Amino acid sequence: MSLRFPDTPLRVLVIVASTRPGRLGPAIADWFARTTRPHAATDGLVVDIADLADVGLPLLDEPEHPSSGSYVHEHTRRWSRTVAAADAFVVVTPEYNFGMPAVLKNALDFLYQEWAWKPVGFVSYGNTSAGTRSVQMTKQVVTTLRMMPIGATVALRIADNTREGQVTGSAALDRAARGVLLELGRVARAMRPLRIETEGEHTGVRGPVNALALAEGRAEDLAELLVLQRCCWVQEALANDTLDLAPLRETLDELRASMSTWRLWCVRRDGRLVAAVRARAHERAWLIGRLMVAPDQAGTGIGSWLLSHAEGQAPEETTHFALFTGHRSTRNIRLYERAGYAVTTAEDTPDGSVHLVKPRLSTGPGRQTGCPEPQRAPG
């Protein structure tokens, strides 16, 4: 997971919206990126490319509505992370029968919240209309996803602007490309407060109590998270008769550094941070850590709900879940046992802790149900 700070560059994702053999999309996307990157650096923007042929999404196969943010398949989670990390988009699209490519519609339909409050520009290409009818059709879809189409565009007629599969650049085309990038940057900055305010409002995620918003953690959450963590682990210290607990000693800088290797999810209730959990993969285990719920919210089911969500984010190759808790933390142990965990022995279990493991149930061919002797992740 990447936690981005307010002074970091805005990320512009160029989406290649054609996958057929012999397509011009990659060459046009490369031209756009090559033309705009020198200006992007000075404008505080970073330009990346996502080719839908490489993304490799099947036809929409998620059982839950995308607005839930609850994804079963790893290909969806990868696409979600890619789109969520972007602040703006450029869609490089051809026109098929007066409309948008099916692969583009499919890629848009896989997600919901990840697109919201972000501007989108278009680089279209075709023959008679230079792909502009595809753009008009796509605008109907992206506005429903709460994206903001910008006015600046690039429209290339294949006969006039390409030769041997490459864009034949011109001063006018280069200016048009830079105009798209400039407007995207302006609008993305203007819309940033909307993204910060509503990021993680997965309205389809039903929590055990009202007014919960579940989202991946971001840099702005960490100071408040540290306060919540210390509050929760004071109770752990009392239960286990020790103050020598890493969550009580951790500094904000240490917490920030740890997020380079852990994925973090936060739960807010009416804007207040009330719960959090983190997880990461280690070999074939999905390690879950720092599950915390504000003391005044304990007993509402938030902890079990958040634990289940963290388990649902595990990669497809995961065979089991693993976690640690204090050996006298009877309330925690009961929660984990109700969720299917069992206390096991493991090397390097921290003093005063117990190790709990839960096998991942088989959900398809090739999924292992056995739970090998787990190993603790280094560090």
> Domain 10-198 falls in which CATH fold?
Rossmann fold (3.40.50)
Assigned token pair, 79:
């696409």
Question: Do 176 and 99 contact (CB within 8 A), yes or no?
Answer: no
Query: Residue 367 has what pLDDT?
Result: 38
What's the CA gap between 92 and 35, in Å, rounded? Answer: 14
Query: Residue 122 has what pLDDT?
Result: 97
List, in sequence order, every residue forming a beta bridge with 166; answer none if it has no partner. 163
Entry pTM? 0.57
pLDDT tier for residue 379 given thresholds of 50, 70 and 90: very low
Query: Residue 164 has what pLDDT?
Result: 87
- Using alpha carbons only, what angle is made at residue 89 by residues 85 and 94, rounded to the nearest 5 degrees? 135
Question: Comparing 17-26, 157-166, 181-190, 235-244, which segment has the lowest mean pLDDT?
Answer: 235-244
Q: What mean pLDDT comes out for the span 138-158? A: 94
Handedness of CA 283, 84, 174, 24 (dihedral sign): positive
pLDDT digits (tens, 9 = 90+) for 225-252: 999 988 888 877 777 777 777 788 889 9
Q: Which of 271, 263, 270 is CA-nearest to residue 306?
A: 263
pLDDT digits (tens, 9 = 90+) for 34-54: 999 988 888 889 999 999 999
Question: Do 358 and 270 contact (CB within 8 A), yes or no?
Answer: no
Question: Could you tell me whether strands 148-157 and 119-126 are parallel, antiparallel, or unpaired per DSSP bridges?
Answer: parallel
CATH code of the region 212-359: 3.40.630.30
- Look at residue 204 and tell me whether its pLDDT is greater than 70: no
Percent of the chain exceeding pLDDT 70 equals 87
Q: Domain limits of the chain?
A: 10-198, 212-359
